[in-house]
Chains A and B, each alone.
Chain A
Amino acid sequence: MNKAAGRHAVGGPTSTDEAIVVEHLRVQRGKRLVLPDLSVRCPTGQLIGLLGPSGGGKSTFMRSLVGVQVVAGGTITILGEPAGSAGLRRRVGYLTQAPSLYEDLTVRENVAYFARVLGSTEADVTRSIADVDLTDHAEALIVNLSGGQKTRANLACTLVGNPEVLILDEPTVGLDPVLRRDLWNLFRRLSQEGRTVLVSSHVMDEATRCDRLLLIRSGQILSDSTLPELLARTGTEDAESAFLALIDGSAA
């Protein structure tokens, strides 16, 4: 993967200590209460893992953060503004779980379109395609790409906007180990530039990559801490055992 040459760092007067503040978020989808009452705070500039089983409310939570989910109650404040407000649409980048791309366009055409929508430059297009290691496939149509390549093209369309907060829904699922490592290195670099990166996954061993872990199950935050804190609290060796210990503990 390329170095983040030319990418401008974020920060300045608009930065706050907590990029994401969620209070008593309540989301109903159909008859199901997906998020009954969720409160959480995410510090600025950290790489935060949102881990938990499928169907636990991760995607619903992320959709709420970017303002495309109908919310029944509670408040979400991102970078000091209510989630989904017009001012945030340039500052918060969202990666959908399934690739949301124009299949009949090339990688470059897709990224270039989102760049124009987000007000980014041609250099941003080239840089974000390089960031996801798709430079060699930039002129390929999306429909002809493999699943992993589509996932990366999807990510490039999010990165091109230089967002200060990145909400990434399962960006590494189904990718090979080398690519997963490269992407986690990229997420690390993005957070070191001062961006807040929230990455969801149902693969527990990705916990070791994160500054902070949010364990979510049935719409409830089971744990919000660093990995060492979590392991110490549960007396376990790894994130998966810790997660199971928490579930057993809450059931008891």
Chain B
Amino acid sequence: MNPRITLATAGRILSQLRHDHRTVALMLLVPCVLLGLLAWIFADSPTPVFDSIGASLLGVFPFVIMFIVTSVSTLRERTGGTLERLMTTPLGKGDLMVGYALAFGLVAIVQSIVATAFAIYVCGLDISGPVWILTAIALLDALLGTALGLLASGFARTEFQAVQFMPAFVLPQFLLCGLLVARDQMPSVLSTISDWLPLSYAVDAMKEVTVNASPEVTKDFLVMVAWIIVSLVLGSLTLRRRTA
């Protein structure tokens, strides 16, 4: 790996986004629209439902959106021939992986700040813990989505497959993350599986920030960081300089 090439790659990916205003607008607006819709659904509810699930969803959106964006854009590198071209240059696999993580991590920071601000100031979300921790969780979440997206794209040969990986990788985690049914109330097999999935920890951390003024999220952070690193390493193994 080479810092110059890594940064050049991150810069190139951001330039691509800069030319694509509609994608940037969608990445920033869709989470806000969904949060607004959710707050509205529960507007007349006697119990503060939005306060309990709004924050958790702040952890789900960046994960899902970054997963899709990353898996599609890396697949474009493969099918468009730019990956093969890069493989003939001094660029290392890690440069590409970390370049993507840096670029989309930066986008994720902006996205999570916008979505968090919208949830708090427009939708009236009540958060007991510090907002910066909530933003940090959203960032880790987005990086997780990016890392898993990079990994998933390694197994996709066509755009159709890449899009199908979204429900395949993401929806099971969504069902098991504790948003629909608390994790300790699931059948024991499912609760054990959910103990191994990264999105569970993202949602746990978000819940902790919502209810606790001094939240304890160290373990959740460590699990997410471990998943990010493992996914990036596994993802770089799916990149081959030589292909048949």
Contacts and interface: CB of A to CB of B under 8 A. Distances in A.
The range of chain B's interface size is 20 to 34
A102 B82 contact: yes
Q: Which of B85, B88, B90 has the most CB of A within 10 A?
A: B88
A190 interface: no
A184 interface: no
Interface residues of A, number: 34
A105 B19 CA distance: 7
A161 interface: yes
Nearest to A65: B88
Interface string B204-244: 00000000000000000000000000000000000001111
A14 to B, nearest CB: 17
B46 interface: no
Question: What is the interface of chain A mostly: helix, strand, loop, or mixed?
Answer: loop
Interface stretch (B4-12, B34-42, B183-191): B4-12
A104 B20 CA distance: 8
Contacts of A86: 90
Given A68-B84, A104-B19, A105-B19, A116 B4 contact: yes
A67 B91 CA distance: 14
Contacts, number: 80
Nearest to B4: A116
Given A70-B243, A96-B81, A100-B82, A117 B88 contact: no
Contact of B8 (A67, A96, A116, A157): A116
A192 to B, nearest CB: 24
Nearest to B84: A68
A96 B11 CA distance: 24
Contact of B91 (A68, A71, A99, A117): A117
Interface of A: 28-30, 66-71, 84, 86, 89-90, 92, 94, 96, 98-105, 109, 113-114, 116-119, 141, 157, 161
Interface of B: 4-5, 8-9, 11-12, 15-16, 19-20, 80-82, 84-91, 241-244
